């Protein structure tokens, strides 16, 4: 079975203006990544495109402010870590809520 994890390719030699091609992903990650990268300091522009609806990849373009010390790859990696943290928080919150509902449900059944 082939590896199904996303793959990343980089186009362009300029570390302050790069296009990252992320394979095996679509708008779900593309839009979130565009938003999180765009909120980082030093990012002048961030956008993504999917060239054809049947493509399983998207192109993420990041351009940093001129003379900013952070490079595009750093902005991308920091954003992926931020998204990972957000997902972990959402999973933990969901699981805690499910456990709380189970406890409340058991208490209600025992009171009847």
Selected residue with higher pLDDT from 2 and 56: 56
Instruction: State both tokens at 77.
Output: 């990696």
86 in a structural domain: yes
* Rounded Cα–Cα distance for residues 108 and 67 (Å): 62
Number of structural domains found in the chain: 1
Burial of 52 (0-12, 13-18, 19+ CB in 10 A): exposed
At 63, which CATH number?
3.30.1360.10
pLDDT value of residue 1: 47
Instruction: State both tokens at 37.
Output: 């990268």
Characterize the bridge pairing of strands 7-11 and 17-23.
antiparallel
pTM: 0.80
2 in a structural domain: no
């Amino acid at each position: 079975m082939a590896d199904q994890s996303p793959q990343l390719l980089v186009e362009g030699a300029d570390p302050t203006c790069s296009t990252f091609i992320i394979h095996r992903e679509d708008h779900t990650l593309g839009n979130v990544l565009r938003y999180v990268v765009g909120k980082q300091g030093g990012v002048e522009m961030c956008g993504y495109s999917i060239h054809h609806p049947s493509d399983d990849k998207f192109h993420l373009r990041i351009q940093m402010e001129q003379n900013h010390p952070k490079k595009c790859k750093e902005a991308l990696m920091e954003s992926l870590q931020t998204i990972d943290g957000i997902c972990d928080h959402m999973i933990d919150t969901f699981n805690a809520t499910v456990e709380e509902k189970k406890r409340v449900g058991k208490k209600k059944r025992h009171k009847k």
